[in-house]
Structure 1
Amino acid sequence: MRIIITGGGTGGHLFPGIALATALQQKYPGCEIMFVGTQRQLDKKTLAGFNFQQESIACMGLKGMGLKHRIKSLLSLPVAVLESWKIIQRFQPDLVFGVGGYVTGPVLLAARLRSVPTCIHEQNSIPGLANRMISHFVSRIFVSIPGEYPFPEQKTVVSGNPVRQEILAAAECRQQQAGSGKNDSGEADSPMTLLIMGGSLGAHRINMLMLDVAAQLDDQQKKAVQLIHQTGTADEETVRDGYAVAGVKAEVRAFFTDMASLYSQADLVLARAGATSLAELSVMGLPAVLIPYPYAADDHQAKNAEYYVAGGGAVMYRESELDADLLGKILSQLLGDIDKLKQMALAMKNMGQPEATQRILDSCMDLIDNSMVIKR
């Protein structure tokens, strides 16, 4: 069996694809996976170390760009479809699965023209332009969050968001520890751990706010908390130096690859509201303070966050309403209220969908089986 997974540009697009790909390889030994993505370094870095074939095509996005860029993007589309056609012709996939991003359009169109079964997965509560356009001709559409989508109802499945195997394992371990009471047996003076992350590319505004918060902490507060901070490349050195000057214990990196380990250490998470991150936090049962990216297409991060806020697992603040004083107060109150954190953690866990990968995998196999019957 051969599967193409297409998408990229951010970790949020790629991680669900990786979760599905590794599950396929585990369940069907010998299954060949090819990722067709963008030419960005982030895509290559995220996929490094996995046993997947990789190809990239040259294409550009449409939304949020100027007229000149849009014209250039439209003119490049036939070439991108032709590149995709050739890749599909060589690889001969049984199914092509899109996980989001403008790169998915040409690949899925080429697959449809070659009568290969196609699926898309929409992680966000408001679909991106590529998935809205592609939805008219794909075989099946998977969505992460219950809601109102502009997709054909008869081929849309509320599946949840695939979460990587190592995070599912970490979530199971965390659940067992909670059941045995181990999480309540630590030392009274042990510091709480705050995980800060702004997505795979970092979040400059959150980074700078946290430096200001750190500078205001008194000695007692510094002893009560330790930070793990994913900054993105641009701010790594500035944030690390800032925490050092403030005397705050912090592990700072541009990008962490072992998120399962970080989630296992965290008591509270400060983050953007990307759908994949939220799916991972909910599976782990981690309470969160969410600051949606204000320039996300159609403000979809705020809509993502609202679902988890309504469920009781998170609180949300707009970036424009926050300063260091308010953010410091919010974090201090939550980290100092163990009962509140436990309530939020339970609510977050109840919204998690650890079975999402298996649900999607089963549905994809039905499509492949039906396609083989038709071909006979």
Structure 2
Amino acid sequence: MPKAVLTGGGTAGHVMLNLALIPHLRARGIDVAYIGSRDGLERRLLAAAAADVPYYAVSTGKLRRYFDWQNFKDPFRVAAGVVEAARLLGRLRPDVVFSKGGFVAVPVVLAARLRGLPVVAHESDLTPGLANRIALPFVREVLVTFPETKARLRHPRVRLVGGVVREALLNGRREEGRRLCGFSSPEDRARPGRAKPVLLVTGGSLGARKLNEALRARLDDFLARYAIIHLTGEQGYDPSLRRPGYCQFAFAREELPHLFAAADLAVSRAGANTIFELAALSIPMLLVPLSRAQSRGDQIENARSFERRGLARVLPDEAVTPEALLQAVTALEAEAEAIRRRLLEARDGLIARPEAVADVIAAYAGGTSLD
């Protein structure tokens, strides 16, 4: 049986595509294993969503972009990870390695090259992350999400696949999302045209705090106009905060498709996975990208790409205040129908299904690549 090793981690964005690929690879008769870090988020997510997939851990460095004494130790950790990954790959004998990026992927990609195994990498953001930039020379083919990335990337095999969206996210039910949040009152059902629009606010796993604070500082003003689904992140959840029309989740898993289906508008950071998920559902979005002080600037590039095409409005992180956020959401609502129409028109060229990536991996697992 052909075998694929998946790798990637550090953030949920580096794991979710891998999770979405697993059933499609298995449907193609491909056995799957996962290599991640010993205590990373990827281990927990895999255990929750695909516990039957064998998981193997290797050492890795963090690849920091700032000074830290740990930087002197990280090259040795990466070297140890390469040795460990090479041994694992020798035991597992996969036909192909698929890398979603993140620091844990670097030693696995290097080890695959040493073993002579083809590596397919995927880059969600418009500009490649540090891990993918390091791995790029050792990758047989790189799959990209943005057309701008394909034009800029110097690599002999670059394939534009578009934003890959989990199929489960497309199967949410609006009424179930409203029910989960307590928004489906008899009055709403009796006069649906007069129900408040539902505003989804999400900051991701790393960027929630500033959005949480800005929203809550003017929460009563927001609630006068919208019913709110608030994905707060684990650190931002406040069980004492209860208001009619306000529903918060620290983290949503099974509920997420229904919550997205219930949303009429969204405020989000500009991580590629989330913005393509919102785009797939034609949800008009206000993007608040992490600043360059907080990140490498990838979210700014992602947001600008969507803004140039008229697919989103953008509020710079430096401009976020409670008042500015409320004003920007109000402006988004006024333009929502036009944005929704443009998202629908762009959808075929914008969004890909996991099958598109699974087909590429399967081709390498069978000993050939797609033309």
Is the shorter-chain TM-score for this pair beyond 0.5, marking a shared fold?
yes
TM tier, shorter chain? 0.7 to 0.9
Contact 1:207 1:235 in 2 (8 A): yes
Distance (Å, rounded) in 1 between the aligned partners of 2:344 and 2:22 = 24
Is residue 313 of structure 1 aligned with residue 308 of structure 2? no
Distance (Å, rounded) in 2 between the aligned partners of 1:134 and 1:145 = 19
CA RMSD after TM alignment: 2.6
Which position in structure 1 is the counterpart of 2:183? none
* Residue 370 (structure 1) shift: 3.1
Which position in structure 2 is the counterpart of 1:322? 320
Instruction: Trace 1:140-219 onto structure 2 (pairs within 5 A).
Output: 140-148=141-149, 151-170=153-172, 187-201=192-206, 203-215=208-220, 217=221
Contact 1:202 1:231 in 2 (8 A): no
Pick aligned residue for 1:349 from 341, 344, 348: 344
* 2:340 counterpart SS class: helix
* Residue 325 (structure 1) shift: 1.3
Deviations 1:138-172 (A, max 9, x none): 1101111111465334211111232112024449x
Q: TM-score, structure 2 length as denominator? A: 0.86
Extract unaligned runs of 5+ from structure 2.
176-189
Which position in structure 2 is the counterpart of 1:284? 281
Identity of aligned residues (%): 25
Distance (Å, rounded) in 1 between the aligned partners of 2:56 and 2:332 = 45
Which position in structure 2 is the counterpart of 1:256? 252
Deviations 1:46-87 (A, max 9, x none): 221324221222211223232522220012222101111122
* 1:65 counterpart SS class: coil
Distance (Å, rounded) in 1 between the aligned partners of 2:331 and 2:138 = 49
Contact 2:8 2:99 in 1 (8 A): yes
* Residue 311 (structure 1) shift: 1.6
Which position in structure 1 is the counterpart of 2:182? none
Contact 1:313 1:346 in 2 (8 A): no
Contact 2:166 2:353 in 1 (8 A): no
Against the structure 1 CA distance between its residues 39 and 287, is the aligned structure 2 distance closer, same or farther, given a 3 Å change threshold? farther
Extract unaligned runs of 5+ from structure 1.
174-184
The number of residues matched between the two structures is: 349
Against the structure 1 CA distance between its residues 283 and 155, is the aligned structure 2 distance closer, same or farther, given a 3 Å change threshold? same
Distance (Å, rounded) in 2 between the aligned partners of 1:24 and 1:349 = 29
Against the structure 1 CA distance between its residues 290 and 13, is the aligned structure 2 distance closer, same or farther, given a 3 Å change threshold? same
* Residue 333 (structure 1) shift: 3.9
Deviations 1:100-138 (A, max 9, x none): 101111001111111111111011111111111211121
* 1:135 counterpart SS class: helix
* Residue 188 (structure 1) shift: 2.2
Q: TM-score, structure 1 length as denominator? A: 0.85
Tell me the amino acid that sits aligned with residue 162 of structure 2: G
Contact 2:207 2:290 in 1 (8 A): no
Distance (Å, rounded) in 2 between the aligned partners of 1:328 and 1:349 = 26
Distance (Å, rounded) in 2 between the aligned partners of 1:134 and 1:345 = 37
Contact 1:270 1:288 in 2 (8 A): yes
Pick aligned residue for 1:304 from 302, 305, 310: 302
